[in-house]
Each structure stands twice: as structure tokens, then as C-alpha cells.
């Protein structure tokens, strides 16, 4: 996760560069896979309204089934 890389004590990049990347990509960059609290495995499409609320595609639900069609979701919504 970008937040962990850029906010670690071992500063590899300047705070300005880190802030820029987080602003543009969010904490979860496009292409990353996430498991949400609802047990869905999601593919990050893009940064959402906030850095920690990406727009995602639900692919599968752990212990349940694979979706026939990916379902786009905004993680800033309560049901995510």
C-alpha cells in the first residue's frame, strides 16, 4: 500500500513527492487487489473521492462464488 511505503520511518522519497503520488493514485493504486470487510475480492480501477476510498470492481466473494460480471463499486459507500 502506498501509504505504508511513503509514511514509513525509512524515508526513501521526499514528503512532497509522496504527497503527490498519494493525491494522484490514492492509497490503493490502480491494479491492486483488495479484500474488503464484506469478503469481496476487488480490483482497484482508480482513485476515488478520497485517497482511501478507491473505485473498484468486485470479482469474487471469499467462500461464496465468482461473479459472472464484475461489479463496479465506490468504496466510500457504506455497503462496501
pLDDT, position 69: 87
pLDDT, position 4: 66
| Burial tier of 44 (Cβ tally within 10 Å: 0-12, 13-18, 19+) | buried
In terms of pTM, does the model score above 0.85?
Answer: no
pLDDT, position 30: 92
Q: How many percent of the chain have pLDDT more than 70?
A: 84
What stretches in the chain show pLDDT beneath 50? Answer: none
CA–CA separation, 49 vs 64, rounded Å? 29
pLDDT, position 72: 92
pLDDT, position 7: 62
Amino acid at each position: 500500500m502506498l501509504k505504508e511505503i511513503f509514511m514509513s520511518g525509512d524515508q526513501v522519497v521526499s514528503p512532497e513527492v509522496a504527497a503527490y503520488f498519494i493525491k494522484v493514485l490514492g492509497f490503493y493504486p490502480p491494479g491492486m487487489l483488495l479484500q474488503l470487510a464484506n469478503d469481496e475480492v476487488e480490483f482497484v480501477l482508480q482513485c476515488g473521492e478520497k485517497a482511501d476510498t478507491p473505485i473498484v470492481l468486485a470479482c469474487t466473494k471469499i467462500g461464496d462464488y465468482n461473479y459472472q460480471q464484475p461489479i463496479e463499486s465506490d468504496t466510500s459507500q457504506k455497503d462496501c
